[in-house]
Every structure is written in structure tokens, then in C-alpha cells.
Structure 1
Amino acid sequence: MTVTTNKPVTTNKPVTRVPGKSRLAVVGATSAAALVTWAVFGPLAGVDLKAEQGTTVYHVNGVSVFVAATVMAFAGWLLLAVLERRTINARKVWTIVAASACVLSLSSPLVGGIGIGAKLGLASLHLIVGAVAIVGLHRTALSVYERCN
């Protein structure tokens, strides 16, 4: 007598997605990392985080840092969700797009920052926020293997 079962075939392919990792937690971590970085450069180190666009000078404060980091993290989440529904290799495409956007965003503080300290502080904010969001959201994305099975 032969017994057959409809069990899915499993392989030993590693799963790189972290189960239970919430994308909302990544947004919170991104915002918190931005605020900590701003606090270290601004109030603690005494760097005047100012940027110039045209004739307007912007003073970067905690509220603007929190809002910008939160909006950016949610935008990354939205793009990842859309790519997961539209492409088979969403994690890879999203990571390339997100890393490219992070690198390109560095032109703003490096060109518009007023003074070396402001340029360094604002560039650090961009890099910290990008790193936390990219690593965090990358780990929540389903791999090609997980999406196809």
C-alpha cells in the first residue's frame, strides 16, 4: 500500500526575512534614530544645523527631523508594498532604489549646509535615517523564494 500526502516540499533554503518584524516598528526606529542623531549634533555638540535653499535659510529642529524621517520611512514602506505586489523580485529592486535615493539625498546637505559642522551633521542625519530604514524594511520584505511558495 502506498500513502501519499499533500505536504508542501520544503528545502533547506535560508529564509532571510525576520518573522514578526513589524514595518511600523521600523518607522518608529527610523524616527527615533533621527531624533537621537539630531540631539547629538544639535543640542549636545552645539552644531547649528542650518541649510540654505536659494535665499532662504532653514534652521533644522527636532520637529522637522522627526517629520522628515517619519515621512521618508512611510514612503519607503509604501514603495516596498507596491513592489511586492507588482514585481517578483521586490526586495532586491527596493533595496537598490532605496540605497540610490539615500546616496542621492546627500547632495542636499553637502551643497546647502551652512558651515562644515552643519554639512557633516545633516549628511549624518541622511545616512543614519537611510541606513535604519533600508536595513529594517529590507528585513521585513519577502524574498523571491518566500513569495513564490
Structure 2
Amino acid sequence: MNRNARRLLVVIAAAAAALLVWAVAAPLAGVDLTVPQGDTDLTVGPVLVIAAALAAGLAGWGLLALLERATARGTRIWTIVAVVFLAVSLLGPLGAAGAAAVASLLCMHLAVGAVVITGLARR
């Protein structure tokens, strides 16, 4: 399998991992995944979960490809940037409505981050 096909599968797997966490949390466990968004509340549904995971994965892939072309240490630099980005992204779910929602959203972020970082950084 070529590198681009493998990386595309990593991005898809990250979205699937996030969707799996959502499916366990929202429909099965009944967690209300609501986060404040300006003056309104945003309910995190499956489309939003998939779109956000795909966006993060594709952005990571794009940055990795750019860094690989620009420097000999592209993968190492990308991994550091990706870990920092994941750490900052973990601040977002902290405003969710309730501890169960916070925990579920944190798990989604960690699932996507773990799949993307380990999958894309692999040579």
C-alpha cells in the first residue's frame, strides 16, 4: 500500500474512532453532548464528529506533507506540533454541560489525536 493510501486510511480511522466514542456516549449511555457556542448551545452529533475528525486529520496530513518536503526532520517537527495541538484542543471540551459530556468529548479528542499522531507519524 502506498503512503498516501495509508495516510488516507489513518484519517478515516480517526473519524471512525471519534464516531465510536460518540456512539457509546450519546445514544448508548445517554450523555447530552452540548457545548456553549456563543449565545447558543451546540449539540455534538455524528455529522459534526465526523467532519471535525476529518478536518483535523486532513489538516495534520497536509502539514506533515509540507514539513516532509521542507525539512529533513519533518516528521519529528510534525509530531511535536501535533501533540501541542492535541493538548490545546483538550481545552475546548472543558466548557461542556456536565462531567459526562466533558469526559466523552475529551475521549473523542484523545481518540482522534492518538490515531492521527501514531498513524501519520509512522514511516
Range into which the TM-score falls when normalised by the shorter chain? over 0.9
Distance 2:55 2:105 in 1: 17
SS at match of 1:83: helix
User: Hey, what does 2:39 align to over in structure 1?
Assistant: 55
4+ long deviations beyond 2 Å: none
Partner residue of 2:103?
120
- Point out where structure 2 has 5 or more consecutive residues left out of the alignment: none
Equivalent residue pairs, number: 121
User: Which of 44, 47, 52 is matched with 1:68 structurally?
Assistant: 52
Query: Aligned partner of 2:71: which letter?
Result: T
2:8 is aligned to 24
Task: State whether structure 2 residue 71 is matched by structure 1 residue 87.
Answer: yes
- Normalised to the residue count of structure 1, the TM-score between the two structures is 0.78
- Per the alignment, residue 80 of structure 2 pairs with 96
Instruction: For residue 55 of structure 1, report the CA deviation from its aligned partner.
Output: 1.8
Which position in structure 1 is the counterpart of 2:26? 42
Q: Secondary structure at the match of 1:124?
A: helix
Offset of residue 20 of structure 1: 4.5
What is the TM-score with the length of structure 2 in the denominator?
Answer: 0.94
Q: Give the equivalent residue in structure 2 for 1:139.
A: 122
C-alpha deviations, 1:92-131, integer Å up to 9, x for none? 1000000000011011101x21111111111111111111
Share of identical aligned residues, percent? 50
Long gaps (5+) in structure 1: 1-18, 141-149
Structure of higher CA gyration radius: 1
